[in-house]
Structure 1
Amino acid sequence: MTIHPEIAKVLAAIPAPDGSPLDPAAMRAAEAAHVAAPADRLPLHAVEDVTAVTKAGEVPVRIYTPAEAGAYGVLVYFHGGAFFLGSLDTHDHVARALAKETGYKVISVGYRLAPEAAFPAGLEDCYAVVRWAAEQGQALGWDGRNLAIAGDSSGGNFVAAVAAKAHEDGFDGVTHQILFYPSVDLDFAEDRYPSLRENAVGFGLETAGLKPFNAFYLNSGADPADPLVSPIKRGDLGGLPPALIITAEHDPLRDEGELYARRLREAGVDATVSRYAGANHGFVQNFSWIPEFYRPFHEAAGFLNTRAGQ
């Protein structure tokens, strides 16, 4: 299927890369300029900014309560942005939609970014907030049974790494993992996956841009051979929580996400792949206003709630 016509319109208006070095500060400012005003955001029962005091330090989080209830499943969300972009604000609408459709209380993590914070600072923040959520369960209104983690793109990378760290530490509290078009292999050799060539140019995220966009993270000490950096390289994926992996047809990262799901299944983990035709990388964040691309939130709800308490 060709790229969705509404996505094609947006892509046609994006200037071609001019080869200039990436400027994190300028790119973050540009992202911030497009954040919706608070009055224009999806209303929920409550949204609160707090500081999670964790073993990794103080981590800003935003807690989304979808409706008044006696208890909630909790979903800890890690935003994307190639490890150096993204914020609580740029992905606020994603967290709101996840809360609304799943009925879970969502905790979005404002983890430390590269290059200012070297590896593994961001990953440590994400993992620490998951442990904090379990420890603060009573205060959060957690139901004590369902503790999910979710993330998009590089946030999906953190989901896979956090799930593995929790398993290695003997913390079995994570019950579900949701990865939206995850970046799980930071070895960007073009021959590794057909999608790196099939979707190399013209769909927003381009294969040639993967190395420079991820360089801030890799140059901060993240080794692509390390399974905490490239989770697909982990030798044993057994014992991890059930996974829902959303991929996009026109995404250079499509095949690594789908291979990761296959490797999970081979290790005995319940893993479901849902590939969205006509979609590109980032569509959940950028194009969920298109009705068919809002459906991942409904899929997430089905995945979480049909397996609730398992």
Structure 2
Amino acid sequence: MSSNVLNPEIAAILAKLPARPKGRLPIEQQRAGFAMMMAGMHAGLAPHLPNESEYTVEDHTVPVEGGEIKVRSVVPKGGENFPLLVWFHGGGWALGDIDMDDYYLRIISVKLKVSTVNVEYRLAPEFLFPTGINDAYAGLKWAAENAKALSVSLSNGFIVGGTSAGGNLAASVSLLARDDAFFKDRPLTGQLLIIPSVVHIDANVDVYRTELLSMEENKDAPSLDADAVRQFNEMLQAPPEDPRFSVLLAESHANLPPAYIQVSGLDPLRDEGILYEKVLRNAGVKTQIIVYPGLPHGGHGFLTTSIATKFNKDTRDGIRWLLSGHV
């Protein structure tokens, strides 16, 4: 199947859903719709939740410039010295919250015996760039500083991960941590980049113009089209060439932790994910990448489809691969 031919299982589901409204919606309406979509995903995950006796969950407060943020830890019971996964949710830097991936992370924590820390960074347009990345980085440092309380041994694995905008944040904090003396003795050991955004829509990418075709090819894709990408970029107001946002344009990608990247074929962001894997690999970074033909952005959330089942199994296998050198 071609990357830009919609997967038939996904097509059948979308045909039964209300048509997406044309044009740009107010952020409040977008957030309400996003919350409804997440509620449906939670309902699909609820039967798979581990028994509450198998883990502990706790919310913590982290001070940040101008306020505080919440992070949520999930720690498996019956052990210690777990590896750590620090997670950033998706939603275009403007949608979503700490509850969005809560069920998913509880399942991951118990199934893979990994402590997780879910960071609730502040959102645009109320909080403009670089607030979100600064919050994400503060959450990462908090997790490292509190490893013992989380039953974590960072030497057994210290991974960052996220979906879409969360994948952007995971890639960004990986770059920041590489160059920060704070992490010299506790370096990141992996980055899980799921359908990530890695370059601003208005960045100067002439050097890569023949490799970045999906923003045009998939400009009218379901679930996320090119205009939505532009709207989210505009709301955040990140400078297009700032490497804290456009991680593809960082001066160097050497000495970054291994990266596991998942890319949806029917996604305006498709080619930047594929290109980022190539750039990392050429810089000597260990990588794995899987591209899912016909899958729109976020389509792995349609849990009843075979492609979503494979995608989510691959995510778990990717975490295992990232941890394979450490546990």
Asked if 1:245 corresponds to 2:257, the answer is no
Contact 1:188 1:210 in 2 (8 A): no
Query: For residues 49-68 of structure 1, what are the alpha-carbon distances to aligned partners after superposition, in whole Å with 9 as ceiling and x for unaligned?
Result: 42233455532112123443
User: What is the aligned partner in structure 2 of residue 262 from structure 1?
Assistant: 278
Q: Residue in 1 aligned with 2:13?
A: 10
Matched, 1:210 2:229: yes
Answer yes or no: is the 8 Å Cα contact 1:287–1:293 preserved in 2.
no
Matched ranges for 1:17-32 at <5 A: 17-19=21-23, 21-32=24-35
Q: Distance in 2 between matches of 1:6 and 1:71?
A: 41
1:82 matched to 2:92:
yes
Q: How far, CA to CA, are the matches of 2:81 and 2:232 in structure 1?
A: 40
Deviation at 1:10, TM superposition (A): 3.0
Q: Check conservation: 2:224, 2:267, Cα contact below 8 A.
A: yes
Question: What is the rounded CA distance, in whole Å, between the counterparts of 1:68 and 1:300 in structure 2?
Answer: 24
Residue 272 of structure 1, CA deviation: 1.4
Q: CA deviation at 1:43?
A: 2.5
Q: 1:228 aligns with which of 244, 248, 253?
A: 244
Provide, for residues 88-136 of structure 1, a one-character-per-residue CA deviation record: whole Å limited to 9, x for no partner. Answer: 1222233234324432111111111011112111111111111111111
Q: Relative to 1, partners in 2 of residues 1:228 and 1:152: Cα closer, same or farther, differing over 3 Å?
A: same
Structure 2 length-normalised TM: 0.85
Structure 2 match to 1:158:
169
Out of 185, 207, 210, the residue aligned to residue 199 of structure 2 is 185
Q: CA deviation at 1:216?
A: 1.1
Letter of the aligned partner of 1:253 in structure 2? L
SS in 1 for 2:62: strand
Is 1:169 aligned to residue 185 of structure 2?
no
Q: Report if aligned partners of 1:52, 1:132 keep a CA contact under 8 Å in 2.
A: no
Aligned-partner Cα distance in 2 for 1:206–1:100: 35
Deviations 1:156-198 (A, max 9, x none): 1101110111112132421110100100011258994122222
C-alpha distance in 2, partners of 1:14/1:202?
Answer: 16
| Per-residue CA distance 1:279-303 (angstroms, 9 max, x = gap) | 221134x224432232233322332
- Say if 1:11 and 1:204, in contact at 8 Å, map to a contact too: no
**Cα 1:276–1:66, aligned 2, differ >3 Å: closer, same or farther?**
farther
Partner of 1:292: 310
Shift of residue 5, structure 1, vs aligned partner: 2.3
Q: Distance in 2 between matches of 1:83 and 1:115?
A: 9
One-letter amino acid of the counterpart of residue 209, structure 1: A
Measured after TM superposition, the shift of residue 39 of structure 1 is 6.2
Partner of 1:136: 146
In the alignment, the residues of structure 2 paired with residue 39 and residue 244 of structure 1 have an alpha-carbon distance, to the nearest angstrom, of: 26
Question: CA distance change for structure 1 residues 27 and 166 in 2, over 3 Å: closer, same or farther?
Answer: same
CA contact (8 A) 2:256 2:285 kept: yes
Structure 2: segments with no counterpart, 5+ residues: none
Alignment partners' CA distance in 1, 2:62 and 2:20: 43
Work out the number of aligned pairs and report it: 304
Which amino acid letter does the alignment assign opposite residue 216 of structure 1?
M
SS in 2 for 1:260: helix
Are residues 115 and 41 of structure 1, via their aligned partners in 2, closer, same or farther at CA, if it must alter by over 3 Å?
A: farther
Q: Which moved more, 1:59-68 or 1:82-91?
A: 59-68
Contact 1:102 1:305 in 2 (8 A): no
Structure 1 segments unaligned to the other structure (5+ residues)? none
CA distance in 1, matches of 2:48, 2:30: 22
TM-score by length of 1: 0.89
**Residues 204 and 65 of structure 1, relative CA distance in 2, 3 Å threshold:** same
Cα pair distance change 1:41/1:224, threshold 3 Å = farther
Aligned with residue 201 of structure 1, among 204, 217, 220 = 220
User: Which range moves more in the overlay, 170-179 or 197-206?
Assistant: 197-206
**Counterpart in the other structure of 2:134:** 124
- Which whole-Å CA distance do the structure 2 matches of 1:275 and 1:100 have between them? 27
Query: Which whole-Å CA distance do the structure 2 matches of 1:151 and 1:105 have between them?
Result: 15
Task: Tell me the SS of whatever aligns to 1:72.
Answer: coil
CA contact (8 A) 1:54 1:129 kept: no
Check whether the contact 2:167–2:193 (CA below 8 A) recurs between aligned residues: yes
C-alpha change, 1:14 and 1:72, in structure 2 (3 Å) is: same
Q: Is the 8 A contact 1:31 1:90 kept in 2?
A: no
Q: How far apart, in 1, do the equivalents of 2:292 and 2:113 lie?
A: 23
